[in-house]
Structure 1
Amino acid sequence: MPLWVLFQDTRSIFSKDELNSEIAKIAIPATFGLMADPIASLVDTAFIGHLGPVELAAVGVAIAVFNQASKIAIFPLVSVTTSFVAEEDSATSSSSILDDIELQPRSKSDNEKMLLLPKHGPENTNKRRHVSSASSALLIGAMLGLIQAFLLIVSAKPLLSYMGIKSDSPMLSPAYKYLTLRSLGAPAVLLSLAMQGVFRGFKDTKTPLYAIVMGGVVNIVLDPILIFVFKMRVTGAAIAHVCSQYLISVVLLWKLIEQVDLLPPNINDLQLGRFLKNGFLLLVRVIAATFCVTLAASLSARLGSTEMAAFQVCLQVWLAASLLTDGLAVAGQAILAGAFARQDYESAKETAGRVLQLSLALGLVLAFIVGVGLTFSSGLFTKDVKVLQILSLGIPFVAATQPINSLAFVFDGINYGASDFRYSAFSMVLVAFASVACLLLLSSYYGFVGIWVALSIFMSLRAIAGVWRIGTASGPWSFLNIY
């Protein structure tokens, strides 16, 4: 099978070669950046958990609604932006090198040649880039953020009702307060994620990390002050999170303006049609995936506040640990997008194989860390004995699925790097149909455990879809047939 080509040369998986260095340079800062929002949610969860199980469950539902609504816009925007910026930047760099070669005179002295070489001298190091994809991403991100904020605020109560929080539920008031206030930060979230996509396309994940760390520190400092000192409870947690998001957005915009000319000379250069076409395909994919996770949270809420509180802790740890591997997906996408733009298929094959091997190794390590860590640290999230009992049932699933999740996330990044957006969308729709059926059936018979079995099936099917595309050497991977 062509897939086995990607698992050759496993001896180089931990070597200090050039490819591993490039992957690490992108993946490590990206991983910490991706972890920031789940960690912020975990911080909120830990503080709010000491207010009581009702508040913990309520905020859990509100976070699930906000996160799933955000993912509908974020992942298409960020994924498309990363690929397009990487392709455009790679093509521009290649063109610049060719221009330099052509402009070198053949009959003059070496000193004269050096004077005529453009673009690489010290005088040009601060020149801003002209990348139209960056302008497109920011424009679309700002618009989507405003729309998301409006829709979430207007439809907060119907959404919470769909999630199982009825009008007579004690969870309604804290959940409504948290969701509406946190929705005010949606424009900052979407705009900052669009800018992170631009920086990823430049293979620069350090700049977003610095901004995210600043925002995270602000969130951690404000949480206990607003929640306990000013006695604002869940309202304080939401305000702290919104403040951190706007700080991140301002810092990223300031740094991006220094590097990129955000005003293209012609509106046609914005490539809005291309963004919207491929963004729509990924939107279909994200809606399908989001529906599965949202349905799982809704089914947990219908079991009661105790089950929902346990599900919230498990879900946040599940997502936070899994996103460690998503840093590899970001690195794979950025490097592969440039390789495909240059039609460097040997580099594409080597990169895809390396990130898949690394993801599997990382997933196995995470399975052990999560299984042991969550078993002994669950008391940090709640002191409620009933919640802890149910939480212990979900820990084995959260831990055991880490290798599967790692492969699934990295396969996503690989396919995005190959601009294989159509297959990504349609395969996820098929996976979602099967997963929804499993969720409804297993939850009705086995409750909390059944929901986690279904989520494990969901992630397994996602990984299988990635294996199938590359394993059959179809679409952009047809070149694997020659190896």
Structure 2
Amino acid sequence: MPSRERPTWRPKLRSDFDRPIATLAIPAFGSLVAEPLYVLADTAVVGRIGTTELAGLALASTVLLTAHALLIFLAYGATGPIARMIGEGHTSRAATRGVQGMWLALILGVAIAGLLALFGDPLLRLLQAEGKVLDAALLYLLVSLPGFPFLLLALAGAGVLHGRQDTRTPLVIAITSALANLVIEIVLVFGFGYGLGASALATVIAQVGAGVAYVVLVRRWARENGAAMGPERSSMISILKSGQALVVRTASLRGALTFGAAVAASIGTEEIAAHQVGLQVWFTLALALDAVAIAGQALTGRYLGEGNPAVAWAASRRMIELDTVVAVVFGALIAVFREPIAGLFTDDAAVVSLTGLVLLHVAGQQPINGVVFALDGILIGAGDLWFLAKWMVAAFVAFGAAAAAVIATDAGLGWLWGALWVFMIVRMVPLYWRWRSGRWLTATTA
């Protein structure tokens, strides 16, 4: 049985699973990196405006990306269940699940945008923002909020399409919205001379377009399969309950990254600016690696829904191999081109120097990240969610202790990134053990 087999690590050049994995993973990359690409474009443009504005963007985007990440269950919590329902032959039920996820995304988006508008100032102060940096961060945050509900609609819509084994359409939407964001931003900032607020506005416009596109697509599929179109309170509550483990998991992840940003801000303005650039590169690469995790969610859910655990097992092994190879390539490229990459985001020589150091850490962590994100997708697709949540909390505690030591000893930015090494290693070891045990093959998606 697959659950009893002790896997051997003998990666092959080719596998029968390469095509289905690549068919899902390559296009999935686009939809996964949409929000980080928005922020990366903002980072590059705002870095040309000034270091204060870049520091403000760093803190505002930390708040926005944390809120976005806490609700990632709208996508990840949809892909596995919808794939499994389709594998079992219950397409109408899958379509209904997708519609209710979209309604929940809209409701949560409006509610959270309102809360961030009310409590944005104290949240930014908790991240050590003050003076002109606080003003810049608050401006970027408030202008960005109208786009947040549409961002969540896009998140939920991508989860639905991924569950249907369609990652090409999200790729088209992601590329279109990212290009629109960049073009509008360049015109407003460099063409008309507007500042930080215009950068945020460009992102909002792109997010609205993407969200509307997903609403149209999910609505069409739901109608074709006879799904109920109105909101159903019981269904949305069920989705929220099934997403609890993913919320705990993601809250721990974002808690670690947010605490890291606060520690960097306490060191100095140049340090938080360099940390912002490094973190955005790290996060973008993480989501690129997570493209294989999306394939893992969809294929694992489908194979288990079809009653093929042996196939799910074999496919999972190949996903880990492929993600690790891609991660090694990413790490090598970042290490070689770290100085030119740093120069893309700022003209400040001190920030460029610090960013080069940070990017060395980013490069070194990539092989670990490749294993971790592949395992994440496999276990999410199998519904082994509370195991993931438990060990993410443990990793957060380990990181918190290491980061607190950085503050206590007045260590520098490099040591803070050393704490991130601890975070990823504590994640990798138990996830790999879980995969080897095969127990995830008997888990169920919610």
TM-score (norm: length of structure 1)? 0.86
Identify which range, 209-218 or 294-303, moves more after superposition: 209-218
Given that 1:3 and 1:470 are in contact with CA atoms closer than 8 Å, whether structure 2 keeps it comes out as no
Tell me how far apart the structure 1 counterparts of residues 123 and 315 of structure 2 sit (CA, whole Å). 42
The answer to whether residue 152 in structure 2 is matched with residue 190 in structure 1 is yes
The answer to whether residue 402 in structure 2 is matched with residue 404 in structure 1 is no
The aligned residue for residue 187 of structure 2 is 225
The aligned residue for residue 238 of structure 1 is 200
Identify which range, 150-159 or 2-11, moves more after superposition: 2-11
Identify which range, 376-385 or 412-421, moves more after superposition: 376-385
Structure 1 pair 9–392 and aligned structure 2 pair: CA distance change class (3 A):
closer
The letter of the residue matching 1:450 is: W
State the shift of 1:477 in Å: 5.7
The aligned residue for residue 289 of structure 2 is 325
The aligned residue for residue 453 of structure 1 is 418
The aligned residue for residue 164 of structure 2 is 202
Please list the CA deviations of residues 376-408 of structure 1 after superposition, one character each: whole Å capped at 9, or x if unmatched: 332111111111121122121010000111111
Identify which range, 54-63 or 250-259, moves more after superposition: 250-259
Structure 1 pair 138–6 and aligned structure 2 pair: CA distance change class (3 A):
farther
- Secondary structure of residue in 2 paired with 1:232: coil
The aligned residue for residue 14 of structure 2 is 15
The answer to whether residue 53 in structure 2 is matched with residue 55 in structure 1 is yes
Tell me how far apart the structure 2 counterparts of residues 209 and 420 of structure 1 sit (CA, whole Å). 27
State the shift of 1:273 in Å: 4.4
Tell me how far apart the structure 1 counterparts of residues 209 and 308 of structure 2 sit (CA, whole Å). 39
The letter of the residue matching 2:70 is: I
Tell me how far apart the structure 2 counterparts of residues 291 and 410 of structure 1 sit (CA, whole Å). 21
The letter of the residue matching 1:464 is: V
Identify which range, 84-93 or 253-262, moves more after superposition: 253-262
The aligned residue for residue 36 of structure 1 is 34
Structure 1 pair 227–417 and aligned structure 2 pair: CA distance change class (3 A):
same
Given that 1:211 and 1:251 are in contact with CA atoms closer than 8 Å, whether structure 2 keeps it comes out as yes
The letter of the residue matching 1:33 is: S
The letter of the residue matching 1:217 is: L
The aligned residue for residue 294 of structure 1 is 258
Tell me how far apart the structure 2 counterparts of residues 142 and 252 of structure 1 sit (CA, whole Å). 12
The aligned residue for residue 65 of structure 1 is 63
Given that 1:58 and 1:174 are in contact with CA atoms closer than 8 Å, whether structure 2 keeps it comes out as yes
Structure 1 pair 191–221 and aligned structure 2 pair: CA distance change class (3 A):
same
Please list the CA deviations of residues 167-202 of structure 1 after superposition, one character each: whole Å capped at 9, or x if unmatched: xx2211111110111121110011110000000000
The letter of the residue matching 1:442 is: V
The aligned residue for residue 75 of structure 2 is 78
Tell me how far apart the structure 1 counterparts of residues 206 and 28 of structure 2 sit (CA, whole Å). 18
Given that 1:132 and 1:269 are in contact with CA atoms closer than 8 Å, whether structure 2 keeps it comes out as no
The aligned residue for residue 424 of structure 1 is 388
The aligned residue for residue 101 of structure 1 is none
Which has the higher Rg, Structure 1 or Structure 2? Answer: 1
The aligned residue for residue 310 of structure 1 is 274
Tell me how far apart the structure 2 counterparts of residues 365 and 6 of structure 1 sit (CA, whole Å). 24
Given that 2:338 and 2:360 are in contact with CA atoms closer than 8 Å, whether structure 1 keeps it comes out as no
Please list the CA deviations of residues 50-88 of structure 1 after superposition, one character each: whole Å capped at 9, or x if unmatched: 111111111111111110111111x22211111111111
The letter of the residue matching 1:467 is: Y
Tell me how far apart the structure 2 counterparts of residues 16 and 467 of structure 1 sit (CA, whole Å). 21
Aligned with residue 87 of structure 2, among 87, 90, 93: 90
Structure 1 pair 267–388 and aligned structure 2 pair: CA distance change class (3 A):
closer
Please list the CA deviations of residues 268-305 of structure 1 after superposition, one character each: whole Å capped at 9, or x if unmatched: 79743432222112111111111100000011111121
Tell me how far apart the structure 2 counterparts of residues 461 and 322 of structure 1 sit (CA, whole Å). 16
Q: Write the mapping of 1:424-443 to structure 2, written as runs, cut at 5 A.
A: 424-443=388-407
Aligned length: 439
- Secondary structure of residue in 2 paired with 1:313: helix
State the shift of 1:429 in Å: 1.3
The letter of the residue matching 1:470 is: W
**Structural RMSD (CA):** 2.2
The letter of the residue matching 1:86 is: A
The letter of the residue matching 2:14 is: S
Structure 1 pair 37–143 and aligned structure 2 pair: CA distance change class (3 A):
same
Structure 1 pair 144–7 and aligned structure 2 pair: CA distance change class (3 A):
farther
State the shift of 1:444 in Å: 3.4
Given that 1:207 and 1:252 are in contact with CA atoms closer than 8 Å, whether structure 2 keeps it comes out as no
- Secondary structure of residue in 1 paired with 2:183: helix
Given that 2:99 and 2:229 are in contact with CA atoms closer than 8 Å, whether structure 1 keeps it comes out as no
Given that 1:200 and 1:330 are in contact with CA atoms closer than 8 Å, whether structure 2 keeps it comes out as yes
> Percent identity between the aligned chains?
29
Given that 1:129 and 1:260 are in contact with CA atoms closer than 8 Å, whether structure 2 keeps it comes out as no
